[in-house]
Amino acid sequence: MDTPIAPAAGFVATRWSVVLAAGGTTSPQAQAALATLCQAYWYPLYAYVRRQGHAPHDAEDLTQEFFRRLLQKHYLAGIRPEGGRFRSFLLTALKRFLANEWDRARARKRGGGHAIVSLDCAQAESRLDLEPACDLTAEKIYERQWAQALLGQVLAELRAEYAVSGKTELFDAISRSLSQPRGAVPYTLIAAQLNTTEAAIKMAVRRLRARYREILRAEIAQTVSRPEEIEDEIRCLFATFGS
């Protein structure tokens, strides 16, 4: 559970850094890194396309076509390591695609192209239905969805670690402490539920929070171009929930 994350010295090996270092080439390593990032963060882009007024089937086609071009064409040509955050690059590239390629993409036979990224659009539509009505711009909604997708990645990895250790029940009982103020979690009730002590639960929560922060930093490191951007990205992403 207490496996440390890679030190900053290994930052150049993170996914977005690999893509940037490739300079827009089609090297297998860069393509694999980019595909992994796209698979993890496709939903905010799909949500953005939907918020632009496209119907679900059109949004699915557009998102798939965008990823196809991103992975197979030269969308990365000219970007540099100082290019910044992956989420910002993706949104800029998507806007250009929607502005310039909609007619061409629509002309393609639906279902005729190879699916580049696995999209669960039925689940995506269910998630969109749960979104509260608000006056946020499509860009602000994209930022919020990105933050939620990233935090979802972190929680999934954290839960998987607990599962390997046979502690899934403990994780499910204390994980809500991550989104609540300190002291808000009923340690006494959880201790009784798990047949342990309140002190043991408090210690488990402290370890959970520490590991959560480690994984969060590691996940964000995958999406920025320099290690000094990590803290700023954390602040930006959490600020989206206050928008």
Q: What per-residue confidence (pLDDT) applies to 28?
A: 80
Range of the domain at 194: 8-242
Task: Using pLDDT thresholds of 50, 70 and 90, give the confidence band for residue 4.
Answer: very low
Position 1 in a domain: no
Position 93 in a domain: yes
Average pLDDT on 98-122 reads: 61
**pTM, entire model:** 0.77
Task: Using pLDDT thresholds of 50, 70 and 90, give the confidence band for residue 215.
Answer: very high
220 compared with 35, residue with greater pLDDT = 220
Q: What Rg, from alpha-carbon coordinates, does the chain have? A: 20
pLDDT tens, position by position, 33-63: 888 888 888 889 998 998 888 888 888 888 8
Torsional sign, CA 99, 102, 105, 111: positive
Position 195 in a domain: yes
Position 159 in a domain: yes
Write out the two tokens for 207. Answer: 């370890």
Position 109 in a domain: yes
Average pLDDT on 14-31 reads: 73
What whole-number distance in Å separates Cα of residue 10 and Cα of residue 26?
Answer: 23
String of b and e for 82-91 (b: at least 16 CB within 10 Å)? ebbbbbebbb
Position 3 in a domain: no
Average pLDDT on 226-239 reads: 89
pLDDT tens, position by position, 167-203: 999 999 999 999 887 777 799 999 999 999 999 999 9
Torsional sign, CA 160, 161, 165, 170: negative
Task: Using pLDDT thresholds of 50, 70 and 90, give the confidence band for residue 218.
Answer: very high
**Nearest residue to 117 (alpha-carbon basis) of 44, 58, 39, 59:** 39
User: Within 10 Å of residue 161's Cβ, how many Cβ atoms?
Assistant: 16
Position 2 in a domain: no
CB under 8 Å to 190, separation ≥6 — which residues?
173, 174, 201
Count of the separate structural domains present in the chain: 1
Q: What per-residue confidence (pLDDT) applies to 93?
A: 86
At 62, which amino acid appears? L
